[in-house]
Amino acid sequence: MLIGVPAETKPAESRVGLTPAAVESLVHEGHRVRVQVGAGLSSGFPDGLYERAGATLVPSAAEAWAADLVVKVKEPQPAEYQYFRPGLTLAAYLHLAAVPALALALLERRVDAFGYETVQTPEGKLPLLAPMSEIGGRMAAQVVAHYLEKPSGGIGMLLGGAPGVPPARVLIVGVGVVGFEAARVALGMGAQVTVSDRNLDRLREVEHLLSGRFATLASNPGNLRAAVAESDAVIGAVLIPGARAPRVVTEAMVASMRPGSVVVDVAIDQGGCIETSRPTTHEAPTYLVHGVVHYCVTNMPGAVPHTATVALSNATLPYIAAIANQGLRAAAAANPTLRGGVNILDGRVVHPAVASALNLEEPAGVATSAATEAQRADGQGRAERVAARSAG
């Protein structure tokens, strides 16, 4: 199969879809790989490494997109829609529930789309989202510490406090991978942490795994209202795979926070779980609402592209190899976990949560194969399990 790796075009996105080591593995299996010149530079992978791995360097995005399978990191930007065509398979973080225009373009041009964020194991784990969730969660604590500083617009508070001075109070809403990692790092920096989730079993589990100045809180509107008002920072980490994130922190709750407090919405790439959130970029990462600093960058791991690219490529390579070796339809039929990543196939939205978010809950023609029919059944059950575990 001919695999294309174009340079990312999302603002301040410095990751690349495949490392040279992943390219070498795919070439070893008999595939041809085209990499756009300069695609890996910002991640620390110069063109020469790709050439030595067996890739062909191409000067333009159009040539990289002229492949059977295109491997990206983030969702295509509108300028890239011109490259969509029937017969193309696209693999990337797509977040179609938050970008309906992209979904429409993929459907109209009959691109088969594999979304990393909806790949799920039978236990409901998200193996391709987890590496970026781990990085995003760890970064969220760092971001809070930075923006609580006065020069960054914050109240002028040290996250870990000082002798005789209490530490900052951090509320984390949702304790999936992002929330757990955010709590772990915030505790390590000395913050006073509260973690909130609807799933009491998950809260019990977190109590056993973490130690430090932290409390657990059953998530409901009354509890959240009181906790947000008392917090110096709120980290939003609620996820329902494939669907738009529920907005569990209201504007009234945000308005109750002290001016100079900080909100970090890590769920923003799925629409955000905080009512006052709107997407931002690394170039202009923050804005104020009710005097509260909001950080809502949709590609947080893009700030650490070398770490993030290696972590991503390690996780995605087995799935990319399966798609390249068998084709998307056959790979999905053979592997139930991979099947969960199939968002669009044959001009139809086949992932149930994505279809629901796009108001296409019963798309005509979904039952075009045993693979897509099984994908719908598997995806519905898994989405319910993860929603129960992760939603705030």
Residue 269 annotated to the active site: yes
**Cα–Cα distance, 382 to 124 (Å, whole number):** 5
Q: Edge-to-edge strands of the sheet including 69-71?
A: 56-58, 32-36, 2-5, 69-71, 89-92, 112-115, 342-345, 348-349
From the list 275, 172, 184, 174, the residue with the least C-alpha distance to 233 is 172
Q: Which of 197, 232, 265, 269 is catalytic?
A: 269
Is 208 an active-site residue? no
Is residue 154 within 8 Å of residue 219, measured between CB atoms? no
Q: At what angle do helices 305-326 and 130-147 cross, to 10 degrees?
A: 160
Q: Which of 31, 95, 146, 351 is catalytic?
A: 95
State the burial class of residue 264 (Cβ atoms within 10 Å of its Cβ: 0-12, 13-18, 19+).
Answer: buried
Burial class (CB within 10 angstroms; exposed 0-12, middle 13-18, buried 19+) of 74: buried
Q: How far is CA 340 from CA 34, 128, 301, 348, in A?
A: 27, 11, 23, 15
3-state class of 249 per DSSP? Answer: strand
Cα separation, 337 vs 120, whole angstroms: 5
Catalytic residues: 95, 269
